[in-house]
Homo-oligomer: A and B are copies of this chain.
Amino acid sequence: MLGPEGLNRALEHLRAFVRRKGLKSSLVRESVARAALEHVGHFTAEELVRSVRERGVEDVHPATVYRVLPLLVEAELIHQTLVSGGEGQRYERAFEREHHDHIICSSCGKVVEFHFEAIELLQSDVAKSLGFRLTGHIHELFGVCSACEPLART
């Protein structure tokens, strides 16, 4: 959860980013940013359009959201996430959040975040040993959560 102060910091960050790029600020874009930043969990472009609309104040056209999303990514307010397939590209807030990966229950769809430093370190080692300078990664685990597997419980 990003509190009201965090939201302000994020919007200020966005304004500075926009200024730096020689672009203009805009109400609509900030509405989209607000909806994205306060969205719980992952969201698609379409869901974001709905979120903005549900907040009542502004209304956004899907095309605009599709134009704003890459900008928010570039400003590092949000990240693209995978959370496997389905309906289109997903995003989640990145601003003032720690890095994490996901494990998804194939049965109920539950998504749990995890962060394991040991894995992160090994990733760097792998990259280094292959002659790469690591800049990012996608890591998603699939499984069946305990709630979905009342069977086979030892």
Interface positions of A (Cβ within 8 A of B): 82, 84, 103, 105-106, 112, 114, 116, 118-119, 122-123, 125-127, 130-146, 149, 152
Other-chain contact of A141, B132, B146, B152 (Cβ < 8 Å):
B132
| Contact between chains at A138 and B135 (CB < 8 Å) | no
Taken together, the copies of this chain in the complex come to 2
| Contact between chains at A149 and B134 (CB < 8 Å) | no
Chain B residues with CB below 8 A from A144, complex form: 132-133, 135
Chain B residues with CB below 8 A from A143, complex form: 127, 132-136
| Contact between chains at B131 and A137 (CB < 8 Å) | no
Minimum distance in angstroms from A108 CB to a CB of chain B: 11
Other-chain contact of A142, B103, B136, B141, B145 (Cβ < 8 Å):
B136
Minimum distance in angstroms from A119 CB to a CB of chain B: 5
| Contact between chains at B130 and A114 (CB < 8 Å) | yes
| Contact between chains at A126 and B138 (CB < 8 Å) | no
Other-chain contact of A145, B132, B141, B145 (Cβ < 8 Å):
B132
Q: List 24 A-B pairs, Cβ < 8 Å.
A: A82-B138, A103-B127, A103-B132, A105-B132, A112-B130, A114-B130, A116-B122, A116-B126, A118-B122, A119-B126, A122-B122, A123-B141, A127-B143, A130-B145, A132-B144, A132-B145, A133-B152, A134-B142, A134-B143, A135-B143, A137-B140, A137-B142, A138-B138, A138-B142
A141→B144 CA distance, assembly (Å) = 25
